[in-house]
Amino acid sequence: MAAPKVYNGSSWVLSAFKQWRSVWEARPYFYDGTEWVSLFDKVPEVVTLSGQTNTANAFGSTARSEIEFRTNGNVYEEDNNGTSNQVDSTTDWLRPTGNETDYQIRFTHVGATNSQFGATAAEGVWWPFSSGSFFIWISTTGIGFQSESETVTIEIRKGTGAVLDSGTYTVNANREDF
């Protein structure tokens, strides 16, 4: 009997075998880009960045809009009231969760840079999730009407590998006095 083969992305190779209950059983494996993983032992991790726009409005006080990529594999938006909402509970940013610290994140500006914008790391610098969650934010300052906005592209990779996904995220902050 010929041994079963699996495709590793570039060629067909022999799959691993395991004796189970006195019967030789083929164990299909796939290469996830960093290691060989059994289809029976692990569901492949999927990185998804669906993009998001978050707007915070304030009357008579500072407006602050924030998007947070947490170390629990989820993305949240938060406004100046401290209200935190999960962006997309079915996909963003890692499913299944559990190995978030293996990943890194970075941002690049889309267009001009707003001086009221901030982020956990400098533009273009990979931030390891092993160091904590990653934030982007914008806020208003001073008095009177103000409207601030910033759009960035977010990218995530595993280890030092290739970018797995990217998405466009926008934070808006609007302030108006009474």
pLDDT value of position 7: 63
Task: Give residue 20's pLDDT band: very low, low, confident or very high (50, 70, 90).
Answer: very low
Tell me: pLDDT of 96 over 90.
Answer: no
- Structural domain including 135 reads 46-176
pLDDT value of position 114: 87
CATH number, position 65: 2.60.40
Tell me: pLDDT of 99 over 90.
Answer: no
pLDDT value of position 112: 80
> How many angstroms separate the CA atoms of 66 and 64, rounded?
7
The verdict on 34 and 64 lying in the same domain is no
Contact between residue 173 and residue 145 where contact means Cβ atoms under 8 Å apart? no
The verdict on 26 and 104 lying in the same domain is no
Contact between residue 63 and residue 175 where contact means Cβ atoms under 8 Å apart? yes
Which long-range contacts does 68-72 make (Cβ < 8 Å, 24+ apart)?
A: 68/133, 68/134, 68/135, 69/93, 69/105, 69/129, 69/133, 69/134, 69/135, 69/154, 69/156, 70/133, 71/100, 71/101, 71/129, 71/132, 71/133, 72/97, 72/100
> How many angstroms separate the CA atoms of 28 and 132, rounded?
35
Contact between residue 84 and residue 78 where contact means Cβ atoms under 8 Å apart? yes
CA neighbor of 110 nearest in space, from 140, 150, 77: 150
The verdict on 150 and 126 lying in the same domain is yes
The verdict on 19 and 102 lying in the same domain is no
Task: Give residue 2's pLDDT band: very low, low, confident or very high (50, 70, 90).
Answer: low
Task: Give residue 142's pLDDT band: very low, low, confident or very high (50, 70, 90).
Answer: confident
Token pair listed for 137? 């934010």
Q: Rounded mean pLDDT of 136-165?
A: 92
* Structure confidence by residue, pLDDT tens digits, 30-73: 676 777 766 666 667 889 998 999 999 988 888 999 999 999 99
pLDDT value of position 134: 95
The verdict on 20 and 63 lying in the same domain is no
